[in-house]
Chain A
Amino acid sequence: MIRRRLSESQFGWLLNLPALLGIFLLIGYPITYSLWISFHRYNLKRPRLFQFIWFHNYLTILTSQEFWSSLWVTMVFTALGVVVIIILGILIALLLNEPFPGRGLVRTMVLVPWAIPPVVNGLMWQWLYDAKVGALNGLLVSVGLLTSYRGWLSDPSGALFALITAHVWNAVPFAVILLLAALQTIPGELYDAARVDGSDGWHLFLHVTFPWLAQPLLIVLILQTILAIRVFDIIYVLTAGGPGTATTTLTWQTYLTTFDSLDFGLGNAYAYIVGFITMGLALLYFRLLYSRGEFEL
């Protein structure tokens, strides 16, 4: 009924309208405001020195030591985290795709880490890793892998790995859910046909499953990368960027600049740089995976 009165493009925009209103009415102002601020010198400790300074903030950041070191930390964290998440995600999703008794329960169990708010997650891991009473130490000592209790979080690379572990644990269920939903929509006949042609396990995966998974996998990749770059809650609780700057990611650095040093101009510039890096990565993924299938944004 409605369709005959509106053209396709009008209908398209009409359908989008509620969502657009919901999003941009609220977030449009903060985004433009913070972009505007990033072009100014604005430090809350000296609020009257508010002036427009073009890209000066961005230059300051790009030539500062903190930026490059936090960029490195972020890259290591994101790369390791996302790789592990994707591998685990695919494996677990494949497993949960097969029917077996109690599957419903296992699927729910898998979601537990995701259901725990990152803050609670962080507090829990903080306790696990505690040098004096932590359970991780207790476990390793009782198994004999360690002779005495270690301070996991006070060691730079240890702290980074601890952070990665906490994040991966929290984020894998989300990847599993998306991949599982995708696996469930693959028509069974494709597998039957392939089996008739003589394919076995690995080949089935490569030629039937993987092409269907390619697009959801891209989505998972992008979402997980964005999530990893934006990790904040667990850093806040577990390491506060330390020891030293071993776990200071770009997002943490943004937080420090904005709320600790109270330099809003610089802080917002950091945020936008992070935004551009994230966008750049997303575009990179699209390019790299483009040949695997038809992708449209």
Chain B
Amino acid sequence: MRRTGLLLLTSFMPEQEALSVPPHWLPDHATLGNYLTFFTPSGTRSIVGRRAAENTLPGIRNSVVAACGTAALNLMLGTLAAYAFARLRFPGRRSLMFLHLGSRMVPGIALIVPLYLLIHHLGLLDNLLALVITYLTFTLPFTIWVLKSYFQAIPRDLEEAALIDGCTWLRMVVRVLLPAAAPGLVAAAMFAFMTAWNDYLFAVILTSSMAAKTAPVVVAGFATDVTTERTLMAAGGVLAVVPPLLLAFLFQRFIVQGLAAGAVKG
């Protein structure tokens, strides 16, 4: 965690200190100046990093939208498909799963050019929707696969008991299956969210303006050819990490034994 600490500490330093040799661990002149830059970018002292500073908060907002959208769609579509794989027998099951996983074996680099052309054709360039559906294609196969495994671990008696008691299938899923599979669902949602949050390659190619640029693209932009404002970048990096952490903190308690054990014992 030293590295995170370093990031955090640097963000409070003025630029000259950050580059000093030997390095200062604790800022001698701690300043909130770096953070304030993001909120009043036109007043910034830094000429070079200014555009990146202006764009940081909108970039983070875009990332949040794209990542939440991806996670939500993943859960919705993935749960349905995973249930089918876990509980139902239908022809072509194994081949379908192979196909899903196989589609993820090809590195993104090969797909980027045709994908760009396709998105352009659909008129969705520089649009968050394009990012969401692109991320969906690479997270959904894994989500399905992972959820299938967690669903399989839940004993069938649970579902059958609910169905015998007169629940409709949908009700059974919502009231019984999902709570029991909560840890797996949270893990899958986190994976989808983080994959969308962290992506750089597709984001940088499919977006061109702040209408859709996401945080990684903006923060990477701090490292311009002329100079790199390390401290601004550190502050930007810290801000970029806050939303996923917040969400993680809120949801990590769902990965709790209580819920799962209760369902199985009851």
Contact = CB atoms under 8 A, between A and B. Distances in A.
B36 interface: no
Contacts of B141: 23
B171 to A, nearest CB: 10
A9 B88 CA distance: 7
Contacts of B26: none
B84 A219 contact: no
Interface string B50-93: 00000000000000000000000100111011011100111101
B110 A15 contact: no
A141 B22 CA distance: 9
Interface in B146-174: 146, 149-150, 153, 168-169
Secondary structure of the B side of the interface? Answer: helix
A187 B77 contact: no
Given A1-B168, A16-B84, A138-B23, A215 B184 contact: no
A15 B81 contact: yes
A188 B261 contact: yes
A229 B105 CA distance: 10
A53 interface: no
Given A12-B84, A116-B237, A178-B146, A254 B113 contact: no
Contact of A118 (B198, B233, B257): B198
A219 B145 contact: yes
A120 B146 contact: no
A119 B240 CA distance: 12
B133 interface: yes
B140 interface: yes
B96 A16 contact: yes
A202 interface: no
A108 B6 contact: no
B109 A124 contact: no
Interface in A5-62: 8-13, 15-16, 18-20, 22-24, 26-27, 29-31, 33-34, 38
B19 interface: yes
B77 A184 contact: no
Contacts of B91: 9
B261 A30 contact: no
A184 B255 contact: yes
A174 B146 contact: no
Given A30-B111, A118-B198, A181-B187, A19 B140 contact: yes
A34 B111 contact: yes
Nearest to A269: B110
Contact of B201 (A20, A133, A232): A232
A189 B264 CA distance: 11
B197 interface: yes
Most chain A beta carbons < 10 A, residue from B3, B81, B107, B219? B107
Nearest to A176: B187
A210 interface: no
B120 interface: no
A88 interface: no
Nearest to B108: A230
A248 B184 CA distance: 36
Contacts of B149: 215-216, 219
Contacts of A174: 191, 194
Given A15-B80, A181-B183, A226 B105 contact: yes
B133 A26 contact: yes
Contact of A23 (B90, B137, B240, B261): B137
A127 B187 CA distance: 32
A3 interface: yes
Contacts of B215: 117
Interface in B217-266: 219-220, 222-223, 230, 233-234, 237, 240-241, 244-245, 248-249, 252-253, 255-257, 260-261, 264-265
A22 B255 contact: no
Interface in B79-134: 80-81, 83-85, 88-91, 93-94, 96-98, 100-111, 113-115, 118, 133-134
Contact of B109 (A27, A187, A223, A258): A258
B40 interface: no
A226 B104 contact: yes
A152 to B, nearest CB: 14
Contacts of B216: 117-120
Interface in B170-217: 183-184, 186-187, 190-191, 194, 197-201, 215-216
Interface stretch (A76-84, A154-162, A239-247, A272-280): A272-280
Nearest to A113: B4
B106 A34 contact: yes
Given A22-B140, A187-B264, 13 more contacts: A24-B103, A30-B114, A108-B252, A109-B1, A118-B200, A120-B233, A120-B237, A123-B220, A133-B19, A226-B105, A232-B107, A274-B107, A297-B98
18 contacts: A9-B91, A12-B88, A22-B77, A22-B137, A26-B115, A27-B111, A108-B245, A112-B4, A113-B3, A113-B4, A115-B241, A123-B220, A128-B6, A138-B23, A142-B22, A185-B183, A272-B110, A297-B94
Sorted nearest first, the 10 A-B pairs with minimum C-beta distance are: A12-B90, A271-B110, A117-B216, A9-B90, A181-B183, A30-B114, A15-B84, A115-B244, A12-B88, A138-B23
